[in-house]
Amino acid sequence: MEIFDPRVQHDFVNGIVEGKDVKISKKYYRDAKHFYLNPDASLADDTLMYQVYSYSEGNSEQVGNLNWGLTVLKPVSVNQECNMTRGHFHENLDCAEFYFGLGGEGLLLMMKEDGTCFAEKVFLNSLHHIDGSVAHRLINTGNEDLKVGACWPTIAGHDYERIEKHPFGARVFKKDDELVIEEDK
Ligand code: PAN
Ligand code: ZN
């Protein structure tokens, strides 16, 4: 039999996924400012907020195929609000996802379809099962990069519009080094 080199390498310590077919997307402040309660005019538009590495093989419409991902969320705050991903429901609500902490400290904010919010602490070696019907967003509450791996079905899709119409009912701030959670009443 032939023995091949792997097509991809995930450097778990340094937070990099490398390989010919790995895609990298970067989110800058200019495209993220509307996530926050009070956008900060002093923060440069080209501030890198997070980057996402993703990798998959084969036909993405084939049921059963998987994506592999890594999100690196920078320790930026926007008028005291902790940096966070845009957040989404999956378009296909049958598709669950695993997240796992690889470095830094944060929260995985989740929201059920009825609007109920809850969160899990994220840290090195934490593992999170996200039910298919639950919206999810990462929040960096620490002072270093929050690195989180993920694995999810290629047919899941991302429904961002639903979050824009019905935002998460909780926001996380850091004031005088203390976490402050503000929830909708
Ligand atoms: C992740 C997210 C990633 C970035 O790969 O897509 O953390 O978050 P946003 O997509 O909300 O900007 C995932 O949950 N995929 O399904
Ligand atoms: Zn997802």
pLDDT tens-digit series, residues 114-142: 999 999 999 999 999 999 999 999 999 99
- For residue 185, is pLDDT > 90? no
Confidence (pTM)? 0.97
What architecture is domain 8-183?
Sandwich (2.60)
Ligand nearest to the CA of 133: 2
- For residue 17, is pLDDT > 90? yes
- Nearest alpha-carbon partner for 119 in 70, 181, 166, 162: 181
Ligand nearest to the CA of 137: 1
Tens-place pLDDT, residues 55-90: 999 999 999 999 999 999 999 999 999 999 999 999
The three-point CA angle 22-157-27 to 5° equals 55
- Which run of H or E residues covers position 165? helix 161-165
Contacts of 36 (CB under 8 A, 6+ apart): 78, 79, 81
- Mean per-residue pLDDT, 146-162: 98
pLDDT of residue 146: 98
Dist. CA 80–CA 117, nearest whole Å: 21
Beta strands 81-82; 97-103: pairing state: unpaired
Centre of ligand 2 to C-alpha 178, Å, is 28
Q: How many residues does the chain have?
A: 185
